[in-house]
Amino acid sequence: MTNILLIYFLKYHKLIQFLEGLVHQMEKERTSVLLEKDIMLKLKALSRSTNKSTTFLIQEAVTEFVAQKTSKHKIGIIGIADSGDPHSAEKDEEFLEKSGFGED
């Protein structure tokens, strides 16, 4: 039973790697990066332990970094209008009843 589970796990793992490769087949531009030797050694060790290429790990890290640094601030709707009544939040149920909200 254990061998069968291991075989299915390995097949699943290979499928995931294949799908990750397809996702990353988008148009790309080649670049070069200089890394400190100790970072490169750690990156190669991580590559071996995760069974992912160093290229994939670098792309993943850069993609995440850029996404964090360029994240757009979401604009909320709370506080964008002024009812003129400083206690309107305390009267929410009253407002909903008068508006007919939730009635068929």
> Could you tell me if 95 and 88 are in contact, meaning their C-beta atoms sit under 8 angstroms apart?
yes
- For the chain, which residues make up each domain, given as ranges? 35-70
pLDDT recorded at residue 53: 93
pLDDT, tens digit, for every residue of 42-77? 999 999 999 999 999 999 999 999 888 887 766 666
Question: What span, in angstroms and rounded, lies between the C-alpha atoms of 63 and 65?
Answer: 5
> Could you tell me if 56 and 49 are in contact, meaning their C-beta atoms sit under 8 angstroms apart?
no
Question: What span, in angstroms and rounded, lies between the C-alpha atoms of 23 and 25?
Answer: 6
Sign of CA dihedral 50, 53, 54, 60: negative
pLDDT, tens digit, for every residue of 2-30? 667 666 666 777 777 776 776 666 677 88
